[in-house]
Amino acid sequence: MELSAAATRILAGLLEARTGQQLSTGRQWRLDTALVPIMRARGIESVDLLVAALVGGRDARLADAVIEALLNNETSFFRDHGPFQQLMGPVLSRLHSARAGARRLRVWSVGCSTGQEPYSLAMGLAEQADLWRGWTIDIQATDVSRSATARAREGLYTQFEVQRGLPVRQLLRWFDREGEQWRLVQALREKVRFHVHSLTEPMPLPGMFDVILCRNVLLYFPPPMRRAVLDRLGRAIAPDGVLMLGAGETIIDQTERFEPDPAARGFYRLRETPRPIQLAAIPGFA
Amino acid sequence: MKTCLVVDDSKVVRKVARHILERLDFSVREAADGQEALAECQDMPPDVVLLDWNMPVMSGIDFLRALRFANIARRPKIVLCTTENGIGHIRVAIDAGADEYMMKPFDRETLESKLQIVGVA
């Protein structure tokens, strides 16, 4: 299916306005494939006609459906095996010592998609039960996709999803078989609270997080938005908290607020005296 | 370079697995059944074995049981790779000595994640 430049531009504009995400050239190839189910369901014959319907604004749910279709919900359990082991080992161990008085740990999984990341963390913590006994552990997880967060709450995964990154012994320990799928046990599902949230909107979760996981999220944003998001995460994180980005992501030239954590590669901490960041040019981040 | 022994009676599966593994920088050897695989392991143990369940001559499970008593220098990690995905099948495989379990068909990401879990990638 051929997409006109005008249709691509309008779809990209819609995605960016709603989510802050950029429709990079690399993602444009999947536009038509992603939109086919919506067009079939509504009897729309071409992307141009779909875009015309969007612009006409007669179908209020159409824009929501298009946005959902354009989002990338790629994720897996224990994604980036090495860094995740580091999180579950030395990084959390350090926070355990630092929070020994309050015995409280607050985690924010940003861009949690269908829930594999926060559930991996919940599983890892459950397997360190002796260490965390008596602690209040609060895992908040957000994603801009309504359908992804709804699926995350269900905790129901296909065979394909559970065998990506999830060790088989943990599958047997923490999941029950439901037909051809696997459901995470209720005790772990209850450990994570999911919210629909776009990083372009005000932060719905007040308080200071000890750990923020923002992996493979920033890469979808244009540079000014990345800077704004990192600034916002900087406000949400505790002074000695830890930010974890995706294995291929960096803060270099993205922010003055964070610096690499010298004790943990791939993790970041607040700079002691962040330089002020100019946000005025970014809509919604005044 | 790490070595992987691909054990499957299907040439196509061995070819697909070889293609993925070589892209992950593995040196790949092949065997068509459990008995051939056992001989390969005794001759020169690989770092990891990607093992089919249902094969002629010697099945994957029989291979695992035989491996326990085999005189080999270093026990390789075993990823059982099958079309059986019942809990009972998975438990049998683990009890027999499999380190990981993977359903066919699989893609590069899934195989890579299993190799990371068993500590060879």
CATH of the domain at B75: 3.40.50.2300
pLDDT digits (tens, 9 = 90+) for A174-207: 999 999 999 999 999 999 999 999 988 877 565 5
Interface test with A, best of B51, B79, B116 (most A CBs within 10 A): B116
Domain residue ranges in chain A: 5-70, 81-270
Mean pLDDT of the residues in chain A: 88
CA distance A4 to chain B (A): 33
The A-side interface with B (CB below 8 A) comprises 76, 78, 81-82, 159-160, 163-165, 167-169, 171-172, 177
A172 contacts B113? CB cut-off 8 A: no
Flag whether residue B116 sits within 8 Å of chain A, measured between CB atoms. yes
Q: Confirm or reject contact between B24 and chain A (CB < 8 A).
A: no
Asked if residue A8 has pLDDT above 90, the reply is no
Q: How close A164 comes to chain B (CA, Å)?
A: 5
Contact A163 B114 (CB under 8 A): yes
pLDDT of residue A206: 58
Provide the pLDDT for residue A127. Answer: 97
For B111, name the nearest residue in chain A, comparing CA atoms only: A164
State whether B113 and A160 contact (CB < 8 Å): no
Mark yes or no for CB contact B103/A164 under 8 Å. no
Helix pair angle (A31-42, A60-70), 10° resolution: 150
Q: How confident is the model at residue A286 (pLDDT cuts 50, 70, 90)?
A: very low
Spell out which residues of chain B touch residue A171, defining contact as CB-CB under 8 Å: 90
* Helix or strand (DSSP H, E) at B100: strand B100-103
Average pLDDT in the A126-145 region? 96
Higher pLDDT, A250 or B4: B4
Whether A43 shows a pLDDT value over 60: the answer reads yes
Q: Across the A/B interface, how many CB contacts are shorter than 8 Å?
A: 38
**Nearest-neighbour CA in chain B from A223: distance (Å):** 28
User: Cα dihedral sign for A14, A15, A21, A26?
Assistant: negative
Closest residue in B to A80 (Cα–Cα): B113
User: Is the minimum CB–CB distance between B85 and chain A shorter than 8 Å?
Assistant: yes
- pLDDT at residue A211 in the model: 96
pLDDT at A205: 63
The CATH class, in words, for A81-270 is alpha beta
User: Mean pLDDT over residues A10-16, rounded?
Assistant: 89
DSSP secondary structure string, chain A?
Answer: -PPPHHHHHHHHHHHHHHH-----HHHHTTHHHHHHHHHHHHT---HHHHHHHHHHT--HHHHHHHHHHHS-----TT-SHHHHHHIIIIIHHHHHHHTTTT-EEEEEEET-TTTHHHHHHHHHHHTTHHHHTT-EEEEEEEES-HHHHHHHHHTEE-HHHHTSS--HHHHHHHEEEETTEEEE-HHHHTTEEEEE--TTSPPSS-S-EEEEEE-S-GGGS-HHHHHHHHHHHHHHEEEEEEEEE-TT---TTT-SSEEE-TTSTTEEEE-SSPPP---TTSTT--
Structural domain span for residue B68: 3-117
Interface mutation vs chain B, best among A78, A168, A169, most B CBs within 10 Å: A168
Which stretch of A124-133, A248-257, B58-67 has the lowest confidence by average pLDDT? A248-257
Nearest CA distance, B37 vs chain A (angstrom): 23
Q: Are B90 and A81 an interchain contact pair (Cβ–Cβ within 8 Å)?
A: no
ipTM: 0.90
Whether pTM > 0.95 for this model: the answer is no
- The answer to whether B94 faces chain A, any CB pair under 8 Å, is yes
Task: Kindly state the average pLDDT of the residues A6-17.
Answer: 88
CB-nearest to A168 from B86, B94, B106 is B94
Cβ contact, residue pair B103, A177, below 8 Å: no
- Identify the pLDDT of residue A3: 74
pLDDT tens digits for range A207-250: 589 999 999 999 889 999 999 999 999 989 999 999 999 988 88
Kindly tell me if the per-residue pLDDT of A283 is higher than 50: no
**Of the candidate ranges A1-10, A86-95, B38-47, B68-77, the one whose mean pLDDT is the lowest:** A1-10
Q: Could you tell me if B78 lies within 8 Å of chain A, comparing CB atoms?
A: no
Predicted confidence (pLDDT) per residue in A50-109, tens digit: 888 888 877 778 988 988 888 888 899 999 888 999 999 999 999 999 999 999 999 999
Q: Do A172 and B94 touch (CB under 8 A)?
A: yes
Q: How many domains does chain B have?
A: 1
